[in-house]
Amino acid sequence: MDNNIKNVGSAKIIIDDKTFDLPVMRGTLGAPGIDVRALHKHTGHFTFDPGFTSTCSTESQITFIDGQKGKLLHRGYPIEQLANNSTFLEVAYLMINGELPNITQNEKFTRTITEHTMLHDQVEQFFHGYRRDSHPMAMMCGTVGALSGFYHDEAHTTVDEARDIAMHRLIAKMPTIAARCYKYSIGQPHVYPNNELSYAENFLHMCFSVPAEKYKVSKTIASAMDKIFILHADHEQNASTSTVRLAGSSGANPYACIAAGIACLWGPSHGGANEACLNMLREIGSVDRIPEYIEKAKDKQDPFRLMGFGHRVYKNFDPRSRVLQKVAHEVLEELDLDNPILAVAKELEKIALEDEYFAAKKLYPNVDFYSGIVLSALGFPTSMFTVLFALARTVGWISQWNEMLEDPSQKIGRPRQLYSGELERNYIPISNR
């Protein structure tokens, strides 16, 4: 990767009446950053930034977010255009390679992924080591990490071809692993991939097909699944992506790095938000109780919070939610479900979009609100929501991992700290304590 950031000026920092100049760097889009790499060397000080919310940890050319304008770009392409016109595998190619594929490239890439969806037969035995009531994310995290035992290649960090093979394997096998986690958790037999189906169709086939009855994949449902994958493919340097990069900075194999990302994603503050949203809808329970909960949400003294509304990064609207809103309505119309929870969701969406309180605070329904509705309508239990998130996000993780290895300025991650523990003291023998 070529470093495209440029020095556009300097910032001054004054410490104990001494002034130090620090370079100001700018990329192609977004706010500039103050280069503090030499700060400790020249001043003896570190920056203090818990959560790294004001720290750029890397240069990247993959994803850009403008939270104020509600923009999400992958390699420069707006997420709305990709979700409405592209396919998940086409987006995967874009994320990895930097450009959209032509017809020949797309056919070759699709064929490569399709032909590598099978798991090693011993991986099947691996699943039987889990308890039946194991959380699907626990199974996914352990199984993906275990792939390093089947495909251990020391060349993955130094040889382009070896990296390509690892990336293709992960993209291809994640749907199979995710579907196997689901099937195992509900006590149904494993369904093998079908190379005649598309990426999304094949995943749905492996999840919902049974030996006793043929499963026909709806085009509307398959399209919805594909769009959900695209919308969750990458989201800049979030917690799980940063975890993948940090693990990868040590030279760890790609399967271990992705497993680390899955473990981070499992946290309720990250990938579990759509599950929390659905649990909120269940708490409300019926349409007639929505006004009561709307008032509770407006009351600052009430602990109740509307899940699935607003976003930490997007201060206007989440561009993914607009795409998924349309998808949600298409899916609900296709399935024509008489589900009280989905009825609550539709009415809550309507009220929140019209209520001046939420409009003023820009608390619009976000991607977690709609994805929870769609996935629930498709028949997935809430325990599978984060698994599907991880499946989609693997494309982003592996692209970020690959970019990190190609970055000539990359170093092993080593955050600093402000120590606030005991001063140096002498050991006291246990008999004298």
Q: Is 26 exposed, middle or buried (0-12, 13-18, 19+ CB in 10 A)?
A: middle
The single residue of 226, 234, 318, 368 carrying the catalytic annotation is 368
DSSP classification of residue 74:
E
- Residue 49: count of CB within 10 angstroms of its CB: 12
- CB-based contacts of 37, cutoff 8 Å, min separation 6: none
Q: Coil, helix or strand for 77? A: strand
Helix H or strand E encompassing 23: strand 18-26
**Look-up of token digits 């539709």:** 346
Using the Cα atoms of residue 327, residue 331, residue 336 and residue 341 in order, give the sign of their dihedral: negative
> Catalytic residue at 49?
no
Take residue 205 and report the two structure tokens written for it: 């086939």
Q: H or E segment at 239?
A: helix 239-248
Count CA within 13 A, CB hemisphere, residue 114.
Answer: 16
Q: What is the DSSP track for 102-156? A: -HHHHHHHHHHHHTT-PPPHHHHHHHTTS-TT--HHHHHHHHHHHGGGTS--GGG
Helix 160-186 with 103-114: angle, nearest 10 deg: 50
Would residue 190 show up in a list of annotated catalytic residues for this protein?
no
- Which of 74, 232, 311, 318 does the annotation list as catalytic? 311
- Which residues are annotated as catalytic? 311, 368
